[in-house]
Amino acid sequence: MADGALTSLANSAPLPLVDPYGRSIRYLRVSVTDRCDFRCVYCMAEDMTFLPKAQVLTLEELERLCGAFIQTGVRKLRLTGGEPLVRRGIMDLIRRLGRHLDTGALDELTLTTNGSQLTKYAAELHAAGVRRVNVSLDTLDPDRFQAITRRGELASVLDGIAAAKAAGLQVKINCVALRGVNDGEVHDLVAWCGRDGHDLTFIEVMPLGDMDEGGQGGSVRADQYWPLSMLRAELAKRWTLTDLPISTGGPARYARVGETGGRVGFITPMTHNFCESCNRVRLTCTGMLYMCLGQDDAADLRAVLRGAPDDDAALLAAIKEAIARKPKGHDFIIDRRRKAPAVARHMSVTGG
């Protein structure tokens, strides 16, 4: 995006983003690509068909949209994918978005990654203003890692995490709890994160998209689903967990691990609807704005961008109208009888 457009957005009158339930929208998650170098079993099908280039927002369009959201009060940007670091030219976008940190318009620029590209990009990310990253890592066993991701090597991810730490980036580990898959590793993960200084967040598997060739995504998720109440009970057999009064507006609830001093978080979209304090929205790489991860309603911001490329007022108005439709919450259900996902789109489409 041209500097003039940035200036136009920066100088226009602020439009506070407040949804119908009085929640101020301060956090935007932006998927920069639907592509990934992994095929995680809970995220996408093994034989994925990725979007044609013409449907994906250009880096300039992504920058313009991010700038518009910053103008309307968003203070935190998280870049996601697919895998964001496989997008060609992604560091150019990150450096330009980092300018908003310098002006004070943005509090934080971060990303969620599978870690495969961190060895290459960790130092550049820190130089661009990124100070922490979330790394998706569900196992410390190389064979199990390959089975979950369907490709990729654990060693490269662990090297990437080490490179991020060396570059000065704080690393948080995200682990999807999968019954019968990694449920025997939870103690090892807590110990490893505590030893290496990483916060750890466990996430319940969510019913998004068909994952297997037979279209039985719902049944796969039903078999994998492990309530985090059960996971926490398992952790309590070895670790002393003390709840922390941390409120970030996000879905995680945190506890301190007495034996390591580290933090462990629990994200429970299935067993606890965490929507009452939701302050975020999600933008896909095609410009679709989802006001809720668990709902299908979306606003097509790409049509506004390309239909009126110089009309900042139209873009800001479209964003404000979309936020006015943000629902109170979601109701994820894994239906073992219907054997279908609650939401048809894959997690990689919305952004991890």
36 is in an annotated binding site: yes
237 is in an annotated binding site: no
21 is in an annotated binding site: no
193 is in an annotated binding site: no
- C-beta of residue 126 within 8 angstroms of C-beta of residue 163: no
66 is in an annotated binding site: no
329 is in an annotated binding site: no
206 is in an annotated binding site: yes
Tokens of 155: 């060693």
Note if the bond before 82 is cis, omega within 30 degrees.
Answer: yes
24 is in an annotated binding site: no
78 is in an annotated binding site: yes
Question: Quick one: how many helices (H) and strands (E) in the chain?
Answer: 12, 12
Tokens of 89: 């030219």
Taking the C-alpha atoms of residue 333 and residue 341, their distance in angstroms, rounded to an integer, is: 8
292 is in an annotated binding site: yes
Q: What's the sign of the alpha-carbon dihedral 247, 248, 250, 255?
A: negative
288 is in an annotated binding site: no
- C-beta of residue 152 within 8 angstroms of C-beta of residue 117: no
Cβ neighbour number for residue 67 with a 10 Å cutoff: 26
Cβ neighbour number for residue 20 with a 10 Å cutoff: 11
285 is in an annotated binding site: no
256 is in an annotated binding site: no
Q: Which residue has the tokens 């654990």?
A: 154
42 is in an annotated binding site: yes
Annotated binding site for S-adenosyl-L-methionine: 42, 82, 136, 206
Annotated binding site for GTP: 29, 78, 112, 172, 280-282
Annotated binding site for [4Fe-4S] cluster: 36, 40, 43, 275, 278, 292
Annotated binding site: 29, 36, 40, 42-43, 78, 82, 112, 136, 172, 206, 275, 278, 280-282, 292
